[in-house]
Amino acid sequence: MGRWGNLKGERGTALILITAVFSSLFVLIGVSMTRGSSEYFLANRSYLNDVAFNLAEAGVEKALYEVSKPGSDYRGEKETPLGRGIFSVTLRPLDPAGSLEILATGTVQGPQSTQVEKKLRVLVQVEDKDSARKVIVRARQVVF
């Protein structure tokens, strides 16, 4: 009786064992790849949301700067390019006393033609005294 004498009745065992090991390995690789791609998608979406929000904030800052100039008649702007995206600003007078609503929208283009947009609404009070202009921010709100 040789070295392999006691395995004669178990010829297909190794084949079944190898098939099971490789099947398990392929399943694990598939799960890892799926999880990796979904993590990439979520991280990219979060990054694009941050970029769009920063663009909206830049629009608000630009509007505050323009409104604070004495004698300014700034009414907003449309699709101003900045960095990876664009921002738009709309000003709306709320009352004759100088209250304004600033609505800024930041838009960034993502992969596969996805577009992410964030809006920021700011209420300000504009006061003219002598030759100076004072701008007071009353409220700030992220609009979804």
pLDDT in tens, 78-103: 999 998 999 999 999 888 888 899 99
Determine the 3-state secondary structure of 135 from DSSP: strand
Domain boundaries defined on the chain? 11-143
Residue predicted with more confidence, 29 or 70 = 29
Mean pLDDT of the chain: 86
Measure the CA–CA gap between 42 and 139, rounded to whole angstroms.
31
- Angle formed at CA 49 by CA 48 and CA 54, multiple of 5 degrees: 95
